[in-house]
């Protein structure tokens, strides 16, 4: 059973309630790091529920020009209230997203935005490559899923590994901000410019 000192430390680090921290430690068998993961997963689950239920009608348009003045990005970042839109955390998220767009040049926001004909063309290319490598059909199907996931990581902003920490996906950054602010946050349109 977790002691009060550990629960308090976990609460200070995660911002979760005392009872949530106690339950997370119990669920993790008093393993502090696992308890952090348990709380993060629950926070992200709550955040996902908020995304589905609310409207994000406030926000900012953010622009970033790279230091060489040869590339830049502009994006819309939405939230529920003007209060959150004015916070440094929200503006920092917009900055990180703009950096990502400049560095990784995504074509789409999420997999659902990839046109069916573009996806089919990619699948056809992968099929031919795998057949040329002599892979059997039953193996090709398994490999195709991984190849499509990798394709989404390259062309979809929210699926890309974050340039500053490739263990985190860009979509997770947005989800973490939702959990932190308690508001729905969405990335709108974006554009990348290059000379």
* pLDDT for res 59: 93
169 and 95 in a single domain? The answer is yes
Q: Which of 71, 52, 159, 174 is nearest to 109 (CA)?
A: 159
36 and 126 in a single domain? The answer is no
Q: What's the number of domains the chain is made of?
A: 3
* pLDDT for res 181: 86
63 and 84 in a single domain? The answer is yes
* pLDDT for res 135: 79
80 and 175 in a single domain? The answer is yes
82 and 100 in a single domain? The answer is yes
Alpha helices, H only, 133-169? 137-155
Q: Which domain holds residue 128?
A: 115-154
CATH of the domain at 138: 1.10.286
The angle at the Cα of 115, spanning 142 to 107, to the nearest 5 degrees, equals 95
Q: At what angle do helices 4-14 and 32-53 cross, to 10 degrees?
A: 40
103 and 164 in a single domain? The answer is yes
CATH of the domain at 70: 3.30.479.20
**Dihedral angle computed from the Cα positions of residues 36, 37, 38 and 44, in that order, rounded to the nearest 10 degrees:** 110
> For the whole model, what pTM was predicted?
0.70
91 and 178 in a single domain? The answer is yes
8 and 21 in a single domain? The answer is yes
49 and 63 in a single domain? The answer is no
25 and 89 in a single domain? The answer is no
CATH of the domain at 36: 1.10.8.10
26 and 38 in a single domain? The answer is yes
8 Å CB contact between 158 and 174: yes
The angle at the Cα of 50, spanning 44 to 55, to the nearest 5 degrees, equals 140
* pLDDT for res 192: 95
173 and 105 in a single domain? The answer is yes
One digit per residue, the tens of pLDDT, for the chain of length 195 reads: 667 888 887 776 666 777 888 888 888 888 888 887 887 777 655 655 655 666 778 999 999 999 989 999 999 999 999 999 999 999 999 999 999 999 999 999 999 999 999 999 998 888 888 888 887 877 888 888 888 999 999 999 999 999 999 999 999 999 899 888 888 899 999 999 999
């Amino acid at each position: 059973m977790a002691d009060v000192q550990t629960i308090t430390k976990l609460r200070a680090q995660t911002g979760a309630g005392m009872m949530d921290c106690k339950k997370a430690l119990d669920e993790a068998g008093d393993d502090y790091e696992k308890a952090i993961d348990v709380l993060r997963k629950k926070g992200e689950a709550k955040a996902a529920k908020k995304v589905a239920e609310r409207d994000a009608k406030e926000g900012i348009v953010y622009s970033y020009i790279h230091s060489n003045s040869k590339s830049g990005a502009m994006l819309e970042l939405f939230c529920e209230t003007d209060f959150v839109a004015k916070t440094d955390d929200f503006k920092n998220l917009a900055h990180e997203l703009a950096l990502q767009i400049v560095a990784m040049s995504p074509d789409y926001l999420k997999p659902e935005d990839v046109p069916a004909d573009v996806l089919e063309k990619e699948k056809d290319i992968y099929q031919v490559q795998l057949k040329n490598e002599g892979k059997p059909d039953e193996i090709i199907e398994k490999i195709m899923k991984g190849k499509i996931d990798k394709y989404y990581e390259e062309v979809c902003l929210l699926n890309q590994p974050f340039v500053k920490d490739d263990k985190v996906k860009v979509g997770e950054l947005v989800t973490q901000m939702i959990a932190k602010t308690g508001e729905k946050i969405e990335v709108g349109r974006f554009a990348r410019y290059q000379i």
